[in-house]
Structure 1
C-alpha cells in the first residue's frame, strides 16, 4: 500500500504472527540491568521513552488484518500510543537476587502481546538487592529481528562514540491527530492489487529456487558434507515436545576474552563456533546427568542475518535465514567437538550460499494467511509436536551488542540480555548478546519440558574451561 503511514507487511514478518498460538508466543525479550539511580522512577522512565518515540518508529506500528485474510496484514502507524497499554511496573520480590529477577522475567514472557495495540511492552522491575533495576522489553518478532532490535537499542540508550540511526532530537511523538486506519474496502482493494503484483514474481523465484537447488545438490555430491538435515537427523530429547504457555528464563555470563582465547587456541574456528561448542558441551554433560544422552548429535538451528555487508542499520523487519549445524554432542573430546562443529558450519554456510540466503524469505511472501494460522492453532491444540521428531533440537543465536558502556538517561546499563522465542517441538532457545567485555547467554524454555534451568546453566563455564585447557592428544 502506498498510503502514508500504512505499509503491507512482508511475508517473513507476517509469518511470525501466523505462527503464534496460545502456547507458542512469538515475542522476543531484551533485558537491560541498570545501576542504582535515585532519579529513575516509573514516571521518568515512561516519559523518557515517550520522548524518544520519534527515533523508534516500529513502536508506533499496529498490525491490522485484511478482511477475509486475502493478503498479509498491514502496518498502520499510530499517531499516539496509550502508555497504560505498554508500560508496566514490578517489584522483583524475594531477596532481589538475579534468580528472583529471572523468575519475574519468565512470568513476563508467559503471556502473549496484545494485538489491538502496537506489539511491544516495557516492564520496569525495581527492587534488586543492590538498589538497581531492570527494564524488560517485550517485542513481537514481527516487528524486528536481532539486528534491527540492536539498532533500536542504540536509539534508546546513549553510547559514547556512537550515533543514533535517526535524528537525536528528543521530541514528543504523540500529536493530537486521530489515527487513520484504512476502511475495509480500501484494505480489500489494496490486498488484491498487491497479491496480483506478487504473483507476477513467482516465475523468476521458481527459476532462482531450481537453480539454487541444483547448485546445492552438486555441492553435496562433490563435497559429501556431514551437515545434518532438519527432521531427518535430529534425535529425540525430553525438551523437544509440545509447549504450554508457561516460560522460564535464566542467564549465564562468560568473559568475552575467554571466548576469544578459545577461538585463538583452535585455528580456523570462529567466535560463533566457540559459542556453539560451549552450548553443545553444556547440553552433553547435562543430558548425561539426566541419563538421557542421544547417540546422534544434537542439532542446532542458527538464525543468520542476510543483510548485505555495509548495509544501513534497520530499525524494523526481519532479514534472517537459518542454517543447521551439529553441536557434536556425540564427540567425547571438547577440542575435537569444536573442530567438528567448525567443519560442519563451514559446509552449512556454503550450502546456504548455494541455495541463496534469501530464498526462504522470498517464498514466505506467498504464505496463505488463513490456512497457515488455522493449521498452527490446530497443531498446537492437539499437542502434535509430541507425535514426531523435532526439525532440530535447540535454537542458538548470537548477536553482537554494544562494545562500549551505555546509559539510559542518567542510569548506567550494567548488563544486557536478550532471548528469542521457543517453538513447538523446540523447547530451548539460547541467545547470546555481547556487552562490552562479556558474552551473556540467555536461555528460555517451557518448564513443562525443562523443569529447572539451573543444572544446565551450571555447565556453561566448565564447557568453556574445557576448550581452554590443553588438548590431551596432538591431533
Structure 2
C-alpha cells in the first residue's frame, strides 16, 4: 500500500461529470501471420500471467475520512479480470472514421473507481481483417511516458517473447489503522515543510526573471479565447492519423530547430488554417505541453511531468518563419522548465489537493483570458513496430484529455517511422476533427515546399523530444 502522490491525485481530482480523466491507448493488430484473430477468451486467459509486471493493474483506491484528497493505492483482493474486459465490432467498412467514432464513445465511458483504474476493449471489424486493443487508463495511474513504457514492456521486437509476470496472491489485506497513522505522519511532515516550499517559490521566481529568451515564453492567463476555447459539455470527438517522421526531421534540420519545435510549427500552420476557415483572425496562439522529468526513466506508473507554455505563431503567414519562431518559443520554455526543475510542481500538487480543480472549474467557461488555446504532446517512441508473439502491432495511437477551457488536445508519438497523432476534443471546439488532422498534413507539405525539401531522401534519425 502507498499514498497517492500529489501529481497523481491532481489528475484524479480533476475528474468531473463532464471531464473524463482517462486516456486512450490504441494498438492496431495484424494477426495475419498467426492465421486467426485474437478473442476475448484468449485475453482473459493470458493477461493475468503478465499483469504482475504492472502493480497498478491490480490496485484500487482506498479513501480515508479526512484525507480524501489523496487516497491510498491498495491491493484489490477481489480483482476480477472480467470486470476490465469487453469487446465491440466496428461498423463497415472499418476504417479510421469508424474506429475514431468508437474511440470518442470510449473517451467518455468513465472507469469504475471501486476497481483498478483501467479497462480493455477488443475491437473487431477493422479493414483488412485487423483488430484494435483500446486501453482506457486513468491519468492518475500513468502519464504519457509511463504509458509508453508499459506498452514497450508488454511487447517485444520480432522473434522475441515477453517474459511472463503472474499477478501472484491478492489475498493480503491492508491495515486501516496503519493507513491512518501513515496519513497523519505525512500531514505533520507537510506542515513542517511549508517554509521549504516558500523558499522554492522564491528560487523559481528568480529563475523566471533570469530565464534566457523569456520574451518568447507566454505569461500565465494572458491568452485570449478563440473558438478552440468554446463553452463545451461532456461529449468528445476523436480523430487519428499520421505524418512521416523523416519529413518532420528534414524540416527540423533545414530550419535548425528540434523535431519538437518543427512539429509545433507545423501544428501552428494547421491551427492558422483552421481559424481562417472559421472566419477568425489568427493572431498568436498558445499551446501547453508536458515536459518529462526524465525521458530515460523506465517507470510504468505515475505522473512526473510539468507543463510548459509556448507560442504557436499562427499570426505569421510565412510557413518557414512560422516554424522558426514557434520552435524558438518551444525551446525557450522547455529550457526554463528544466531550469525550474520538477520538485516544486510536485509539492504544489501535494499541498493544494483539490483546490486546483476548483479554480479550473470556476474559470473554465467564464474567464476571458485562458492559459492556452490548444494542448499538445510529443513523445519519442520505438523506431520499428512492436510484436506480441506472432502478432504485429502495426499502429500505436494515444489520446489524452480534453479539459476546458482548452478542449482541443493533439498527442503525437513517433512509431516505426511515422508520427502518429491522436486528436481528442469537444465538438463545440473542434466540429470536424478529421479535417484538422488533414490540415496538419497540408501544413507539413506547405513548409516542405517553402523549404524546397519535399523530394529529398530521408535523413538520419533525430531525437523527437
In the superposition, the TM-score normalised over structure 1's length comes to 0.89
Q: Distance in 1 between matches of 2:238 and 2:191?
A: 42
Query: CA distance change for structure 1 residues 446 and 162 in 2, over 3 Å: closer, same or farther?
Result: farther
Query: CA distance change for structure 1 residues 224 and 408 in 2, over 3 Å: closer, same or farther?
Result: closer
Q: Distance in 1 between matches of 2:311 and 2:420?
A: 22
Q: What's the secondary structure of 1:245's corresponding residue? A: coil
Q: What's the secondary structure of 1:158's corresponding residue? A: coil
Query: CA distance change for structure 1 residues 394 and 97 in 2, over 3 Å: closer, same or farther?
Result: same
Q: Distance in 2 between matches of 1:355 and 1:120?
A: 33
- Structure 1 residue 469 corresponds to structure 2 residue 449: yes
Q: Distance in 1 between matches of 2:309 and 2:174?
A: 41
Query: CA distance change for structure 1 residues 441 and 209 in 2, over 3 Å: closer, same or farther?
Result: same
Query: CA distance change for structure 1 residues 69 and 243 in 2, over 3 Å: closer, same or farther?
Result: farther
Shift of 1:310: 4.7
**Counterpart residue number, 1:258:** 247
| Corresponding residue to 1:434 among 381, 390, 414 | 414
Deviations 1:293-347 (A, max 9, x none): 343x11000111012x654x11111110111101100011010011101222232
**Counterpart residue number, 1:65:** 63
Q: Distance in 1 between matches of 2:315 and 2:29?
A: 40
Shift of 1:242: 3.7
Q: Distance in 2 between matches of 1:60 and 1:205?
A: 34
- Structure 1 residue 328 corresponds to structure 2 residue 313: yes
Q: What's the secondary structure of 2:234's corresponding residue? A: coil
Structure 1 segment 232-271 matched on structure 2, within 5 A = 232=222, 234-267=223-256, 269-271=257-259
Q: Which structure 1 residue ranges, 4+ long, deviate > 4 Å from structure 2?
A: 160-163
Query: CA distance change for structure 1 residues 162 and 14 in 2, over 3 Å: closer, same or farther?
Result: farther
Q: Distance in 2 between matches of 1:159 and 1:392?
A: 39
Once structures 1 and 2 are overlaid, which stretch shifts more, 85-94 or 348-357?
348-357
In the superposition, the TM-score normalised over structure 2's length comes to 0.91
Q: What's the secondary structure of 1:260's corresponding residue? A: helix
- Structure 1 residue 208 corresponds to structure 2 residue 200: yes
Deviations 1:234-266 (A, max 9, x none): 221122134322111101211111111111111
Shift of 1:414: 0.7
Shift of 1:196: 0.7
Shift of 1:230: 2.5
Structure 1 segment 322-361 matched on structure 2, within 5 A = 322-361=307-346
**Counterpart residue number, 2:287:** 300
Q: Distance in 1 between matches of 2:426 and 2:172?
A: 38
Q: Distance in 1 between matches of 2:171 and 2:394?
A: 39
Shift of 1:417: 0.3
Q: Distance in 1 between matches of 2:398 and 2:79?
A: 24
8 Å CA contact retained: 1:71, 1:191: no
Q: Distance in 2 between matches of 1:35 and 1:161?
A: 15
Query: CA distance change for structure 1 residues 427 and 214 in 2, over 3 Å: closer, same or farther?
Result: same
- Structure 1 residue 284 corresponds to structure 2 residue 272: yes
| Corresponding residue to 1:147 among 145, 148, 153 | 145
Unaligned ranges ≥5, structure 2:
453-465
Shift of 1:162: 8.4
8 Å CA contact retained: 1:401, 1:435: yes
Deviations 1:22-54 (A, max 9, x none): 111111111001114414111112322222111
Deviations 1:48-83 (A, max 9, x none): 222211112221121222212365211112346212
**Counterpart residue number, 1:231:** 221
Q: How many residues matched?
A: 449
8 Å CA contact retained: 2:400, 2:411: yes
Q: Distance in 2 between matches of 1:171 and 1:150?
A: 18
Shift of 1:286: 1.2
8 Å CA contact retained: 2:218, 2:286: yes
8 Å CA contact retained: 1:250, 1:454: yes
**Counterpart residue number, 1:3:** none
**Counterpart residue number, 2:184:** 192
Query: CA distance change for structure 1 residues 174 and 354 in 2, over 3 Å: closer, same or farther?
Result: closer
Q: Distance in 1 between matches of 2:106 and 2:306?
A: 27
8 Å CA contact retained: 1:241, 1:386: no
Q: Distance in 2 between matches of 1:422 and 1:464?
A: 24
Q: Distance in 1 between matches of 2:409 and 2:69?
A: 30
